[in-house]
């Protein structure tokens, strides 16, 4: 194990901590200085003094939280070097997870530590693709670190959805998506597949769709379902309605004409999760790396040491050790593994 790195990078009760810079990475409690890898709520909490993140992540945090002031947020573009003090240099590299997602690259005392944050290797038009950064220590997630998790191409799952609308034109197609990242990725993928009708969306998705549009994304026509009266809802037959996963089992969904509930998530490879979400159709769409992606990425960094933050730690640790890598579990708390 790399004892040198452990002297300046370790876990505290608030989360992963860089001691010489007095700075935390994705802390789960409010701290004086925080590096935030992306805008999902289990990584981007409110209440920090200073926040180092991409401009997109800061914009997401400002949309969700009222206490991220202009002065409290330090925007860093990919590759832009920031001196954190005491010899620590920070820069960010694309993580391919969602808009603005980044790997945090910390350089100190002749060493480079890369914290992946959440990431994926599959293409996604809503964010920059993951970039391999050679390093001494690679700190990775392991949300889908079991061999069963092999994520199919997004195009296959989108075709499944479009085919269902052709077979069941009388049913409204509800798609459970997380508001940040998954929603926008599904919208663009459907447009690329030729879907030209307006999207109808749950009110909980509206703010973040609008935020993405300020960054130049064009989703075509879309409309909140709340703007459609009960008398007019028959027009939703054969249309796509995007909603949070929780809405699939809510009274809200039963107001739609003959709803066909589906869920877009990497967990849809597990039948028990499909039943749990009450989904008639499972769309295996993940914003995390799958089993092969996790292994290939860790090895591609060339890091002799890999630290695993959360997820299915044991399987990934075992495989990496078989490849001669020193791997260990950090067991960080506060990560929501369901949110995919």
Query: Cα angle vertex 173, ends 264, 168, to 5°?
Result: 125
- What phi and psi values does residue 93 have, to the nearest 5 degrees? -125, 150
Q: Which secondary structure element, helix H or strand E, spans residue 208, and what is its range?
A: helix 206-214
Contact between residue 323 and residue 303 where contact means Cβ atoms under 8 Å apart: no
Contact between residue 180 and residue 334 where contact means Cβ atoms under 8 Å apart: no
**Residue written as token pair 């075992």:** 318
What is d(CA 287, CA 143) in angstroms, rounded to the nearest whole number?
Answer: 10
DSSP 80-136: --EEEETTEEEEEEE-SSSTT-EEEEEEETTEEEEE--S---S--TTSPPP-----S
For residue 294, the cross-strand partners are: none
Q: How many CA atoms lie within 13 A of 103 on its CB side?
A: 30
pTM of the model: 0.94
Domain edges within the chain = 3-148+288-329, 154-283
Strands 199-201 and 222-224: parallel
Domain spanning 3-148+288-329, CATH architecture:
4-Layer Sandwich (3.60)
Q: Which secondary structure element, helix H or strand E, spans residue 173, and what is its range?
A: strand 172-176
What is d(CA 149, CA 133) in angstroms, rounded to the nearest whole number?
Answer: 24
* Topology at the third CATH level for domain 154-283: Rossmann fold (3.40.50)
SS3 298: helix
Tens-digit pLDDT string for the chain (340 aa) = 456 899 999 999 999 999 999 999 999 999 999 999 999 999 999 999 999 999 999 999 999 887 665 457 999 999 999 999 999 999 999 999 999 999 999 999 999 999 999 999 999 999 999 999 999 999 999 999 999 999 999 999 999 999 999 999 999 999 999 999 999 999 999 999 999 999 999 999 999 999 999 999 999 999 999 999 999 999 999 999 999 999 998 999 999 999 999 999 999 999 888 888 888 999 999 999 999 999 999 999 999 999 999 888 999 999 999 999 999 999 776 555 556 6
């Amino acid at each position: 194990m790399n004892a040198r790195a452990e002297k300046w990078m370790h876990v505290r009760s608030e989360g992963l901590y860089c001691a010489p810079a007095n700075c935390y990475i994705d802390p789960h409690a409010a701290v004086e200085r925080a590096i935030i890898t992306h805008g999902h709520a289990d990584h981007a909490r409110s209440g920090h003094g200073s926040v180092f993140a991409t401009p997109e992540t800061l914009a997401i945090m400002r949309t969700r939280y009222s206490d991220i002031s202009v002065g409290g947020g330090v925007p860093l573009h990919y590759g832009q070097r920031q001196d954190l003090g005491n010899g620590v240099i920070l820069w960010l590299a694309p993580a391919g997870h969602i808009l603005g997602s980044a790997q945090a690259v910390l350089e100190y005392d002749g060493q480079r530590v890369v914290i992946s944050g959440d990431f994926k290797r599959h293409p996604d038009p809503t964010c920059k693709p993951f970039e391999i950064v050679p390093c001494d220590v690679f700190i990775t997630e392991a949300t889908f670190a079991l061999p069963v998790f092999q994520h199919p191409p997004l195009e296959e799952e989108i075709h499944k959805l479009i085919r269902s609308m052709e077979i069941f034109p009388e049913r409204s197609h509800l798609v459970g998506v997380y508001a940040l990242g998954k929603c926008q990725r599904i919208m663009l993928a459907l447009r690329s597949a030729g879907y030209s009708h307006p999207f109808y969306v749950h009110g909980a998705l509206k703010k973040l769709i609008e935020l993405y549009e300020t960054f130049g994304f064009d989703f075509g026509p879309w409309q909140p379902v709340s703007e459609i009266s009960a008398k007019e809802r028959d027009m939703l037959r054969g249309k796509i309605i995007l909603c949070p996963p929780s809405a699939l089992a809510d009274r809200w969904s039963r107001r739609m004409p003959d709803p066909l509930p589906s869920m877009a998530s990497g967990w849809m490879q597990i039948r028990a999760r499909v039943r749990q979400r009450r989904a008639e159709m499972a769309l295996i769409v993940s914003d995390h790396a799958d089993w092969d992606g996790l292994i290939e990425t860790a090895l591609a960094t060339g890091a002799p040491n890999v630290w695993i933050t959360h997820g299915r730690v044991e399987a990934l640790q075992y495989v990496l050790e078989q490849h001669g890598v020193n791997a260990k579990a950090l067991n960080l708390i506060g990560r929501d593994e369901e949110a995919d």
